[in-house]
């Protein structure tokens, strides 16, 4: 038999209640659906399969017996079987299903989801229930530290059907402790798309202005750290706080202040506004630009050797000031080119490109004339200060007329001498280009980018 490969198995595991006459039994049978390919194509036919449960995704030990089904019908890759490993197999820890086809074990093993544990209680049929609403006119209290009130409902476990006829709070929690951590109201949801606590307010404030509050958190303490509202998501794709404004208008997703200065606002359209500064310990991402009324748009400091101050993409930096200048105190690394934009007479614009080099070279140009076949050119003092002329520098010469040839006869830190070849004594002019290493970067060649250093 050619090798069979299980491809993206969707383990739709559900509990099937069988033998309804055995009201006190707990059924353990469940349905397993898989997808099988053969030579890269969906398999079709009858296959012998074995199913076993293990306590680990790889290695580990087998739990329970092996179920062998000699003729499993597979159509277009899809097959469905009913499995029953008995009640002792699913005792709580994770279980993994090992499938073998024609004696070949497929991998990886499939985690048997919690649905297989959703076994109906043997006493569920005789449990007390309330067919109509039950009202509590007084407080619910208890002395047992482990006491709970558990309410099961498809809509709201505890709800406020008529705010006008009930106290201002449908559910109110209060917890006091001189030490430790307490919770006035705690909501936990274990469902796939569940929500721990939901607050809905549909009231109207003064002067018919909407001023309803779904959830409000107030923390008061003369000392220490307090949290009005704290959100935590224990999930790789979780959201600690999810805010939505669904009524349109200019609503705020978030509006915060310390009571006296610098509010921080997140608008419903995604804009973020603050009158203070933003300190980030990692990075700040702005997909639609940064705008300030006073000061610098970005004034950043990275305190690590390999820190990355600004990382930009797309149309990275544009300016709308009269000078449109960008000042960088440090290195400017680009993966594209460094261009100069010039305006042409026909109204279009063109790009001029910068010279690139693996070394740090500075260059200067000039035009002088020979006098009796000799000229001494003094290096510009600013150029000499920016470069290190103690390190050998380069001079390129271009005669502006017919000569016997030109050459550099002498170089110093502050000047260089040019002579005409073969003892010539002409007075012709010539152009020169001097190229010298930048001071402090004499040995740098093909440096590493910040990302590579990190």
Going by pLDDT thresholds of 50, 70 and 90, the confidence category of residue 4 is: very low
Is 227's pLDDT higher than 50? yes
Query: What pLDDT, on a 0 to 100 scale, did the predictor assign at position 395?
Result: 97
pLDDT at 272: 76
pLDDT digits (tens, 9 = 90+) for 240-295: 777 776 666 666 666 776 666 556 777 766 677 776 677 766 666 766 666 766 66
Radius of gyration of the chain (CA): 39
331-388: per-residue pLDDT in tens?
Answer: 777 777 888 899 999 999 999 888 889 999 999 999 999 999 999 999 999 999 999 9
- Residue 125 DSSP class: G
Q: What is the mean pLDDT of the chain?
A: 75
Q: Which helix (H) or strand (E) is 42 found in, with range?
A: strand 41-42
CA distances, 393 to each of 369, 397, 410, 411, 442 (Å): 21, 14, 12, 9, 11
The confidence band for 198, taking pLDDT boundaries of 50, 70 and 90, is low
The enclosing domain of 104 has a CATH number of: 2.60.40
Closest Cα partner for 330 from 449, 179, 192?
Answer: 449
Give me the pLDDT at residue 86, please: 82
Determine the Cα–Cα distance for residues 120 and 22; give it in Å rounded to an integer.
Answer: 12
Judge whether 62 and 54 are in contact, CB under 8 Å: yes
Q: 393, 411 in Cβ contact below 8 A?
A: yes
Q: How large is the average pLDDT for residues 119-137?
A: 61
DSSP per position, 372-441: TTEEEEEPPHHHHHHB-TTS--EEEEEESS--S-EEEEEE-SSEEEEEEGGG-----EEEEEEEEEBTT-
**Residue among 283, 177, 189 nearest 234 (CA):** 189
What is the extent of the structural domain holding 17? 4-117
CATH number of the domain residue 400 falls in: 2.60.40.3940
Task: Give 211-273 as a DSSP string.
Answer: ---S-------SSS---SS-----STT--S------S-TT-EEEEE--SSS--EEEETTS-EE
Per-residue pLDDT averaged across 49-66, rounded? 92
d(CA 435, CA 368): 17
Query: Comparing 39 with 412, which gets the higher pLDDT?
Result: 412
CB neighbourhood size of 112 (10 A) = 21
Q: In 3D, which of 110, 126, 128, 118 has the Cα closest to residue 56?
A: 110
Instruction: Report whether the peptide linkage leading into residue 120 is cis, meaning its omega lies within 30 degrees of zero.
Output: no
Give 390-396's long-range contacts (Cβ < 8 A, gap of 24+).
Answer: 391/436, 391/437, 391/442, 393/434, 393/435, 393/436, 393/437, 394/434, 394/435, 394/436, 395/432, 395/433, 395/434, 395/435, 396/432, 396/433, 396/434, 396/435
Tell me what the mean pLDDT of segment 387-407 comes to.
96
Residue 393 covered by a domain: yes
User: What pLDDT does residue 11 have?
Assistant: 35
Q: What is the pLDDT of residue 346?
A: 96
Alpha-carbon distance of 68 to 48, in angstroms, equals 8
Choose between 166 and 235: higher pLDDT. 235
Domain contains 338: no
Whether residue 55 is predicted with pLDDT greater than 60 in this model: the reply is yes
Which of 234, 227, 264, 269 is closest to 250 using CA atoms? 269
Phi, psi of 64 (to 5 degrees): 80, -170
Is 297 in contact with 288 (CB distance < 8 Å)?
no
Predicted pLDDT at 241:
76
The residue-averaged pLDDT of 171-193 equals 65
**Could you say which of 100, 117, 134 is where a domain stops?**
117
Summarize the confidence of residues 45-73 as an average pLDDT.
93
Asked if residue 177 belongs to a domain, the reply is no
Share of the chain above pLDDT 70, in %: 53
Q: Would you say residue 373 lies in a domain? A: yes
Q: Express each pLDDT in 296-337 by its tens digit.
A: 656 666 655 555 555 655 555 555 555 666 777 777 777 778
Alpha-carbon span 34 to 10, nearest angstrom: 6
In a domain, 142, yes or no: no
d(CA 454, CA 450): 6
> For the chain, what is the domain count?
2
Per-residue pLDDT at 18:
34
- pLDDT given for residue 229 in this prediction: 76
- The whole-model pTM stands at 0.38
Average confidence (pLDDT) over 410-425: 96
What pLDDT does 47 receive? 94
Quick check: helix, strand or coil at residue 38? strand
In a domain, 238, yes or no: no
Assess if residue 350 is contained within a domain.
no
Q: Would you state the pLDDT for residue 6?
A: 46
pLDDT of the residue at 271: 76
Q: Using the 3D structure, point to which of 117, 152, 168 is the last residue of a domain.
A: 117
Position 406 in a domain = yes
- Domain end (from 117, 143, 167): 117
């Amino acid at each position: 038999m050619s090798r069979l490969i299980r491809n993206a198995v969707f383990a739709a595991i559900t509990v099937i209640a069988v033998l309804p006459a055995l009201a006190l039994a707990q059924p353990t049978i469940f349905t397993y659906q898989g997808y099988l390919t053969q030579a890269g194509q969906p398999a079709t036919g009858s296959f012998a399969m074995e199913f076993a449960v293990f306590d680990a995704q790889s290695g580990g030990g087998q739990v329970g017996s092996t179920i062998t089904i000699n003729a499993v019908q597979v159509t277009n890759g899809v097959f469905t079987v009913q499995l029953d490993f008995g009640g002792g197999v699913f005792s709580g820890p994770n279980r993994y299903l090992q499938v073998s086809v024609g004696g070949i074990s497929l991998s990886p093993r499939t985690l048997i989801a919690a649905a297989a544990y959703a076994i109906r209680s043997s006493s569920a049929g005789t449990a007390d229930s309330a067919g109509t609403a039950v009202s509590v006119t007084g407080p619910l209290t208890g002395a047992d530290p482990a006491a709970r009130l558990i309410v099961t409902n498809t809509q709201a476990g505890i709800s406020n059907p008529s705010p006008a006829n009930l106290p201002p709070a449908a559910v109110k929690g209060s917890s006091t402790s001189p030490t430790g951590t307490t919770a006035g109201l705690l909501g936990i949801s274990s469902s796939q798309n569940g929500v721990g606590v939901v607050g809905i307010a549909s009231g109207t404030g003064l002067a018919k202005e909407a001023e309803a509050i779904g959830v409000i958190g107030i923390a008061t303490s003369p000392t220490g750290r307090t949290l009005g509202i704290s959100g935590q998501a224990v999930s790789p794709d979780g959201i600690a706080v999810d805010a939505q404004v669904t009524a349109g208008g200019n609503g705020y997703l978030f509006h915060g202040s310390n009571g006296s200065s610098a509010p921080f606002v997140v608008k419903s359209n995604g804009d973020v506004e603050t009158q203070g500064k933003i300190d980030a310990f990692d990075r700040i991402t702005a997909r639609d630009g940064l705008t300030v009324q006073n000061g610098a748009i970005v004034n950043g400091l990275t305190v690590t050797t390999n820190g990355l101050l600004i990382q930009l993409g797309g149309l990275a930096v544009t300016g709308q000031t009269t000078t449109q200048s960008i000042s960088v105190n440090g290195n400017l690394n680009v993966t594209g080119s460094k261009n100069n934009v010039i305006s042409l007479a026909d109204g279009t614009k063109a790009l001029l490109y910068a010279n690139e080099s693996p070394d740090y070279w500075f260059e200067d140009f000039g035009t002088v004339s020979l006098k009796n076949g000799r000229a001494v050119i003094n290096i510009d003092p600013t150029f000499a200060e920016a470069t290190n002329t103690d390190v050998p520098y380069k001079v390129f010469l271009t005669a502006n007329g017919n000569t016997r040839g030109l050459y550099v006869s002498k170089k110093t830190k502050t000047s260089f001498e040019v002579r005409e070849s073969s003892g010539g004594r002409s007075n012709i002019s010539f152009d020169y280009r001097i190229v010298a290493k930048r001071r402090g970067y004499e040995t740098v060649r093909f440096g590493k980018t910040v990302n590579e250093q990190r």
